[in-house]
């Protein structure tokens, strides 16, 4: 990247206080305009054609629209699936596959004529919750998004710890700890490229994994939300699966406590709406954690679906 070219812009940023965050999803791109204190001025969600150029055009459009509102240049941070490699400048591991192996950061910088910051979307979630979300009172935060997949990130003092491979905290494709005989026998192989391992935790913990496991056992085809509703009505098989799920998640979280020991563990994504997780997981953690007391808080996110886009804006929190 030709950094001199951007010095003029960067100097300008020091005097400006508006931030634009972009959340690059598989079918939609969402943008947010925040003031210095994180107050939301404008938000817009828009569809785009599932290809590279359409994504760039959509972002350009959103940035232009937001800057017209405040009549000044804004910083731009973008949350993407996967990550933008430090080494090659190319996107890797994105499930929006048209982003993979593309110099997305460079192309955006040329289009928007400024430096942009890119970050994995689970890290954006973690950053947003750390700065002014459920993790605001705490220094060390572990954010977990549990939706169709399982993504996670670490932050300390409101800074993301990205790691040398840019996968710090993203432990969802590690094996499920303390597996039971049934879990081993389930013989679930992760379909994600670069993983493809048996016992991959995502196959048990993600929303879709939870559904699959329940449906297979009970010969049904219902959603995670429907399973939870069944459980609330007292259905025995649903409650059994939910208890098993909580135990699995506690096992997996205990591994992160053993490494990072974060003050706050914040859940996001569809599965974070299951209220019983916040009562039951803390009760299970001592069984799997090597400590006389387990003080780590298990919290629900504050910003919900907005956390990704807010975190992207907060990438410029210097
Ligand atoms: Zn996996």
pLDDT digits (tens, 9 = 90+) for 69-125: 999 999 999 999 989 999 999 999 888 899 999 999 999 999 999 999 999 999 999
Task: Using the mean position of ligand 1's atoms as its centre, give its distance from the Cα of residue 317 in Å.
Answer: 32
The CATH 3.30.420.40 domain(s) of the chain lie at 4-121, 134-301
Please tell me which residue, 49 or 188, carries the higher pLDDT value.
49
Please give the distance, rounded to the nearest whole angstrom, from the Cα atom of residue 16 to the centre of ligand 1.
42
Residue 191 CA to ligand 1 center (angstroms) comes to 7
Q: Which residue has the higher pLDDT, 70 or 187?
A: 70
Q: How far is the CA of 44 from the centre of ligand 1 (A)?
A: 33
Asked if residue 155 has pLDDT above 90, the reply is yes
- Ligand 1 centroid–CA 194 distance in Å is 8
Distance from C-alpha of 132 to C-alpha of 151, rounded to nearest angstrom: 20
Assign domain 4-121 to a CATH class. Answer: alpha beta
Query: How large is the greatest C-alpha to C-alpha distance in the chain, in angstroms?
Result: 64
**204: CA distance to ligand 1 center in Å?**
10
Neighbours of ion ligand 1 (CB under 5 A): 173, 190, 192, 195, 200, 202
Q: Ligand 1: distance of its center to the CA of 82 in Å?
A: 14
CATH class of 134-301: alpha beta
Buried b (16+ CB within 10 A) or exposed e, 118-137: bbbbbbbbbbbbbbbbbbee
Taking the CA atoms of residue 279, residue 280, residue 286 and residue 291 in that order, the dihedral angle to the nearest 10 degrees is: -40
CA dihedral 276, 278, 281, 285 (to 10 degrees): -160
CA neighbor of 281 nearest in space, from 310, 245, 311: 245
Q: What is the pLDDT of residues 17-49, one digit of tens each?
A: 899 999 999 889 999 999 998 999 999 999 999
- Across 191-227, b (16+ Cβ under 10 Å) vs e yields eeeeeebebbbbbbbbbbbbbbbbeeebeeeeebeeb
């Amino acid at each position: 990247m030709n950094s001199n070219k951007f010095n003029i812009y960067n100097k300008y940023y020091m005097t400006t206080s508006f931030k634009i965050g972009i959340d690059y999803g598989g079918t939609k791109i969402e943008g947010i305009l925040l003031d210095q204190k994180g107050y939301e001025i404008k938000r817009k969600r828009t569809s785009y054609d599932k290809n590279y150029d359409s994504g760039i055009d959509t972002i350009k459009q959103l940035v232009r629209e937001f800057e017209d509102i405040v009549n000044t240049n804004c910083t731009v941070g973008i949350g993407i699936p996967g990550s933008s490699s430090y080494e090659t400048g190319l996107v890797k591991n994105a499930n929006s596959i048209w982003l993979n192996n593309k110099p997305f950061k460079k192309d955006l910088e040329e289009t928007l004529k400024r430096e942009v910051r890119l970050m994995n979307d689970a890290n954006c979630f973690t950053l947003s919750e750390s700065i002014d979300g459920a993790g605001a009172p705490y220094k060390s935060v572990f954010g977990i998004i549990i939706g169709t997949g399982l993504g996670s990130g670490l932050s300390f003092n409101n800074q993301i710890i990205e790691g040398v491979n840019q996968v710090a905290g993203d432990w969802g494709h590690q094996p499920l700890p303390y597996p039971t005989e049934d879990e081993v026998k389930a013989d679930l192989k992760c379909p994600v490229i670069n993983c493809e391992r048996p016992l991959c935790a995502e196959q048990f913990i993600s929303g879709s994994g939870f559904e699959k496991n329940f449906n297979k056992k009970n010969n049904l085809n219902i959603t995670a939300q429907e399973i939870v509703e069944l459980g609330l009505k007292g259905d025995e098989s649903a409650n059994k699966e939910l208890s098993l799920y909580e135990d699995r998640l506690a096992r997996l979280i205990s591994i992160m406590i053993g490494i990072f020991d974060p003050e706050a563990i914040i859940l996001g994504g569809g599965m974070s709406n299951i209220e019983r997780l916040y009562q039951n997981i803390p009760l299970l953690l001592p069984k799997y954690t090597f400590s006389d007391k387990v003080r780590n808080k298990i919290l629900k996110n504050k910003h919900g679906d907005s956390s990704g886009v807010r975190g992207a804006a907060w990438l410029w929190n210097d």
